[in-house]
Amino acid sequence: MSPVLRQRGLTLLELIIVIALMALLAGITLPMFGPGVSTSALRSSARQVAAGLRTARSEALAQRRETFLTVDVAGKRFRVDQEAVEHKLPDGVSIKLFTAQNDLVDGNVGAIRFFPDGGSNGGRITVASGDRKFDVDIDWLTGRVAILD
């Protein structure tokens, strides 16, 4: 009779353990070498800008006067009209402002204007990092603020 030959190799369990360890190491090391801003931090920055715009619109409606959200593109910060607090975006995040020509102070500073009826001059603020970006749109008629991917 012939003896039963046993083949040597890896079991399925051993393969799963090795793949899990490789995934764990990749999950730890890849963010160290990737872009500086995570998608969630970028989305959070877009939400912060949108919240500032909504605050400016609410102030315009409540106080029945024009209210501005002023954006400093070079400094990566913004401020609602009469608030003392300036909101700064994280390093690695860039910001672009598209607004009416008469609301541009210079090449780096501009504003989005909200009117007492809730409308605005309209525009877009783009928050970006590398190839990823979020557009915060402001409807000129209603003043509605929306975040677009």
Indicate whether 81 belongs to any domain: yes
Q: What is the largest CA-CA distance in the chain?
A: 100
| pLDDT band with cut points at 50, 70 and 90 for residue 33 | low
How many domains does the chain divide into?
1
Answer whether 0.85 is exceeded by the pTM. no
| pLDDT band with cut points at 50, 70 and 90 for residue 9 | confident
Domain containing residue 68: CATH number = 3.55.40.10
Averaged pLDDT, 5-26: 84
Residue 31 has what pLDDT? 63
Structural domain of residue 58, as residue ranges?
39-148
Indicate whether 133 belongs to any domain: yes
Averaged pLDDT, 46-70: 96
The C-alpha atoms of residue 48 and residue 59 are separated, in whole angstroms, by 17
Residue 82 has what pLDDT? 83
Average pLDDT, the chain: 90
Indicate whether 104 belongs to any domain: yes
Residue 35 has what pLDDT? 55
Indicate whether 25 belongs to any domain: no
